[in-house]
Amino acid sequence: MVSSVVDGVALRGVVGCLPDQRESVTDLARRFGDEAATRIAKATGIITRHLAGPDLCTSDLMEQAARRLLVGLGWEAASIDLLVCVTQTPDQPLPGNGALLQHRLGLRKGMVIIDVTQGCAGFVHGLWMASSLVKQMGGRALLLVGDTTSRLIDPDDRSVAPLFGDGAAAVALDVSSAAAPMWFDLGSDGAGAPYLSVSGGGMRQPGMAPRLFMDGTQVFAFTLREVPGSVNAVLSCAGWTMADVHHLVLHQANAQMIRHLAQKLSATPDQTPITLTERGNTSSASIPLALCDALAGALTTQPRRLVMSGFGVGWSWASVAMVCEPLVVCEMMLATGRNCPAETAPSATDAER
């Protein structure tokens, strides 16, 4: 594991964006039967999930969240110095979503863009990367996280189809000498790769759609084995006990899992929001979406001591302890559809002109 502290960087705002299309337990019952759908909902705590329709890509959700965030902050797009884009469902193999969004958002030429392939630990990894880099560079950073995981799932696979929803979030950071430190703990164990995966590239047969595979038992065991130690590490670095923490925001994977982790960490239900009931597992976006869902009122009015922890594919895990000063904006929105037409390459004739 790696422990790191970043000081002098402030979190200014968070906006979450969800597709307006939803699938409920009632919809699942039509495919799997009433008894199976009820059993799945009881085991996972998930009742409804937002799913991206054919007219929405991951970049569309990120773009709309970023636009709303910039307006809410009163920041000009040209004032952003660093863009970190975290997704495991990019629109296309290359270029990454970062380049597409730099152009579509009107961010300035010459800025730094980093695309990160990360899953459920991706928000905290991205926060660490963005805050560390913008501290060195100076200026402002935009962190975009999100996935359209439903595109990787067989809708008839009852082991994963009822679990995953789609969503994205935009987070704004800037350098501030008054900002309190952020204490990070990050780690990985590649031995977990076979238990949560999507076959692709040379492994996938031509013409075969990529499909997500998950061994839930192994995921649960990994989470209980690694996450408490990571959370306790950042508490120790901050000099806090769990009683000092206002909110413990865990990756929203499974309600039962969150309750087990909270119990192991001596956190109360009031400290530990569970927002996946109407969202499902939204991968890297789940923590910032939980902030917008459950904590917007608190985060925009008073300082809050936060501990956030993401964990999943890889295996990978990442936790952060931080004092969050009142945010300028913290809100949720529904996607309104694609704002821009799909990017098209210039024709040979155009290239010759």
Contact between 277 and 315 under an 8 Å Cβ cutoff? The reply is no
Position 203 scores a pLDDT of 42
Position 202 scores a pLDDT of 42
Question: Residue 208's pLDDT band (boundaries 50, 70, 90)?
Answer: low
Residue 322 in this model has a pLDDT that exceeds 80: yes
Nearest to 89 by CA among 131, 61, 117: 117
Asked whether residue 343 is domain-assigned, the answer is no
Asked whether residue 345 is domain-assigned, the answer is no
Question: Residue 207's pLDDT band (boundaries 50, 70, 90)?
Answer: low
Asked whether residue 222 is domain-assigned, the answer is yes
Contact between 70 and 41 under an 8 Å Cβ cutoff? The reply is no
Residue 1 in this model has a pLDDT that exceeds 80: no
**101 backbone dihedrals φ, ψ, rounded to 5°:** -75, -30
Residue 121 in this model has a pLDDT that exceeds 50: yes
Question: Residue 336's pLDDT band (boundaries 50, 70, 90)?
Answer: confident
> Does an H or E element contain 349, and which?
helix 348-352
Instruction: Write out the residue range of the structural domain in which residue 92 sits.
Output: 2-338
Position 204 scores a pLDDT of 43
Contact between 264 and 228 under an 8 Å Cβ cutoff? The reply is yes
pLDDT, average across residues 308-321: 97
DSSP 101-120: HHHHHTPPTT-EEEEE---T
pLDDT digits (tens, 9 = 90+) for 133-170: 999 999 999 999 999 999 999 999 988 999 999 999 99
Positions marked catalytic: 120, 251, 281
Bridging pattern class, strands 247-250 and 304-312: parallel
pLDDT, average across residues 42-49: 93
Question: Residue 223's pLDDT band (boundaries 50, 70, 90)?
Answer: very high
Asked whether residue 273 is domain-assigned, the answer is yes
Residue with tokens 């964990």: 311
pLDDT digits (tens, 9 = 90+) for 164-178: 999 999 999 999 999
Contact between 41 and 24 under an 8 Å Cβ cutoff? The reply is no
Residue 340 in this model has a pLDDT that exceeds 80: no
DSSP 181-243: PEEEEEEE-GGGGGGEEE--GGGSPTTPPP-EEE-HHHHHHHHHHHHHHHHHHHHHHHT--GG
Asked whether residue 246 is domain-assigned, the answer is yes
Asked whether residue 262 is domain-assigned, the answer is yes
Residues 6+ apart with CB under 8 A from 88: 117, 118, 119, 122, 147, 149, 198, 283, 284, 313
Residue 353 in this model has a pLDDT that exceeds 60: no
Bridging pattern class, strands 2-6 and 182-188: antiparallel
Grouping H, G, I as helix, E, B as strand and the rest as coil, residue 353 is coil
Q: How far, in Å, CA of 312 to CA of 125, rounded?
A: 12
Position 339 scores a pLDDT of 52
Tell me, what CATH number does 99's domain have?
A: 3.40.47.10
Into how many domains does the chain fold?
1
Show the beta-strand stretches assigned E in the chain: 2-6, 9-18, 22-24, 48-50, 82-86, 112-116, 140-147, 167-175, 182-188, 196-198, 212-214, 247-250, 304-312, 316-324, 329-334
Residue 32 in this model has a pLDDT that exceeds 70: yes
Asked whether residue 174 is domain-assigned, the answer is yes
Asked whether residue 353 is domain-assigned, the answer is no
What percent of the chain is modeled with pLDDT above 90?
A: 87
Position 210 scores a pLDDT of 80
Position 122 scores a pLDDT of 98
